[in-house]
């Protein structure tokens, strides 16, 4: 008889604690809030991507996506911390009186501007090196004299005879030959023997010495 009474009481206590835990869990689940929003820049009002959001006192949080949107589950009264590299940290506290399951908000962050000390960059490692370079500076020639020397007729003629064609010129010649071949497909190729423009180009090139043998 005593064993049956003791078993009944233990069973009743077990049911009582299970009911209480279910009630607490149900109450806690009904108080959870799906908190969503967008993080914006205060100056431009543009979304800020990859902002870290952390519920203070916990290890739970999230990160905004490319469009500055975030969404996480929180409890009423939680304090959310926003961290961004280029902005000042901000906090947002949910009200304790929130009863709805979904809550939306816009969080604005202020840019954090840091003023660094002035840094002077010199091409010389020391004042002595600068002094040597300054004293060895040759200022005999003016800009006009250097320009005249670079535009010397003999120098330009030498470059014209020795310098090869670049990629753009070679491409244009190849494409012209290709278009000529396509244009004359199915017929005899055009003969430029009596073309005055071709003769003028040949005579001009001959006068400039383009067909002369180059000295090795």
Residue listed under structure tokens 């960059």:
121
Per-chain mean pLDDT for the chain: 80
148: pLDDT strictly greater than 60: yes
CA dist list (Å): 212 to 77, 154, 158: 92, 17, 13
158: pLDDT strictly greater than 60: yes
154: pLDDT strictly greater than 60: yes
pLDDT band at 164 (very low <50, low <70, confident <90, very high): confident
- CA 129 to CA 149: how far, in whole Å? 30
CB within 8 Å of 86: residues ≥ 6 apart: 111, 112
**pLDDT: which is higher, 106 or 2:** 106
The reported pLDDT for the residue numbered 213 is 67
CA dist list (Å): 215 to 21, 55, 163: 102, 82, 14
Q: 3-class SS at 71?
A: strand
Minimum mean pLDDT range among 4-13, 77-86, 192-201: 4-13
pTM (2 d.p.)? 0.43
50: pLDDT strictly greater than 50: yes
9: pLDDT strictly greater than 60: no
CB within 8 Å of 88: residues ≥ 6 apart: 109, 110, 111, 112
Domains (range + CATH), the chain: 30-109 (2.60.40.1120)
pLDDT band at 68 (very low <50, low <70, confident <90, very high): very high
20: pLDDT strictly greater than 90: no
CB within 8 Å of 77: residues ≥ 6 apart: 93, 94, 95, 96
- CA 146 to CA 166: how far, in whole Å? 26
pLDDT band at 115 (very low <50, low <70, confident <90, very high): confident
- CA 151 to CA 170: how far, in whole Å? 25
CA dist list (Å): 36 to 29, 63, 121, 207: 18, 12, 48, 80
Nearest to 107 by CA among 88, 131, 129, 85: 88
Mean pLDDT is highest, among 70-74, 129-133, 158-162, for 70-74
> What CA dihedral angle connects 178, 182, 186 and 191, to 10 degrees?
-60
């Amino acid at each position: 008889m005593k064993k049956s009474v003791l078993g009944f009481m233990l069973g009743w206590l077990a049911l009582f604690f299970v009911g209480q835990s279910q009630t607490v869990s149900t109450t806690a689940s009904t108080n959870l809030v799906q908190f969503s929003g967008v993080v914006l820049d205060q100056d431009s009002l543009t979304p800020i991507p990859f902002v870290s959001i952390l519920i203070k006192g916990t290890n739970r949080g999230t990160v905004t996506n490319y469009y500055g949107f975030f969404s996480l589950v929180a409890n009423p009264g939680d304090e959310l911390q926003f961290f961004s590299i280029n902005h000042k940290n901000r906090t947002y506290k949910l009200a304790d009186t929130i009863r709805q399951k979904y809550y939306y908000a816009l969080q604005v962050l202020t840019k954090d501007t840091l003023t660094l000390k002035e840094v002077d960059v010199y091409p010389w490692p020391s004042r002595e090196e600068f002094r040597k370079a300054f004293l060895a500076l040759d200022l005999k020639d003016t800009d006009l004299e250097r320009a005249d020397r670079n535009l010397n007729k003999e120098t330009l003629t030498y470059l014209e005879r020795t310098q090869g064609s670049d990629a753009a010129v070679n491409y244009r010649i190849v494409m012209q030959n290709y278009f000529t071949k396509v244009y004359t497909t199915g017929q005899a190729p055009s003969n430029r023997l009596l073309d005055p423009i071709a003769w003028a180009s040949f005579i001009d090139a001959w006068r400039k010495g383009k067909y002369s043998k180059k000295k090795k």
